[in-house]
Amino acid sequence: MNTFAIALLSIVLSVTAQFSLKAGMSQPGVQAAMAQPFSLGSLISVIANKYVLGGFVLYGLGAVIWLGVLSKWDVSKAYPLVGLGFVFTVLAGLMVGEQVSPLRAGGVALICAGVFVVARS
């Protein structure tokens, strides 16, 4: 697998982690725990949620894969690709019914242009 594909895999895992965390944080039990004053019990209730825990696992896996990217590319080349996470997140958001304003879409287009310029350098 080439380095670009590995970078994309890491980014996709991070985006998936975001949606998993959002699903977990939207659960009634987690919402109730978040409404309480901070305690070890409320922290455990949040972390023990399968979606929250899954999100953390996905982030961890994405980070480990990202280390492989950093071992082959300069940070100045690799890190702008993280901007693709914005694109994937907006696209995934659209698929789950989130609203995307023209201003947000324009911002994502600017990010894509920046990633393209960096990738060509």
Q: How far apart are CA 19 and CA 95, in angstroms?
A: 12
Q: How far apart are CA 30 and CA 20, in angstroms?
A: 13
CA 92, distance to chain mean position in Å, is 11
User: Encoding tokens for residue 113?
Assistant: 């242009």
Question: What's residue 112's pLDDT?
Answer: 87
Asked whether residue 47 carries a pLDDT value surpassing 90, the answer given is yes
Question: What's residue 9's pLDDT?
Answer: 96
Containing structural domain, residue 85: 3-120
Question: What's residue 118's pLDDT?
Answer: 79
CA 26, distance to chain mean position in Å, is 17
Q: Give CA torsion, residues 111, 114, 115, 118, to 10 deg.
A: -160
In this prediction, residue 19 has a pLDDT band, given cuts at 50, 70 and 90, of very high
Query: How many domains does the structure of the chain reveal?
Result: 1
Question: What's residue 114's pLDDT?
Answer: 84
CA 111, distance to chain mean position in Å, is 15
Tell me what percent of the chain is helix, strand and coil, each rounded to the nearest 5. 85, 0, 15
Question: What's residue 121's pLDDT?
Answer: 73
User: Encoding tokens for residue 32?
Assistant: 């109730």
Q: How far apart are CA 19 and CA 48, in angstroms?
A: 17
- pTM value is 0.84
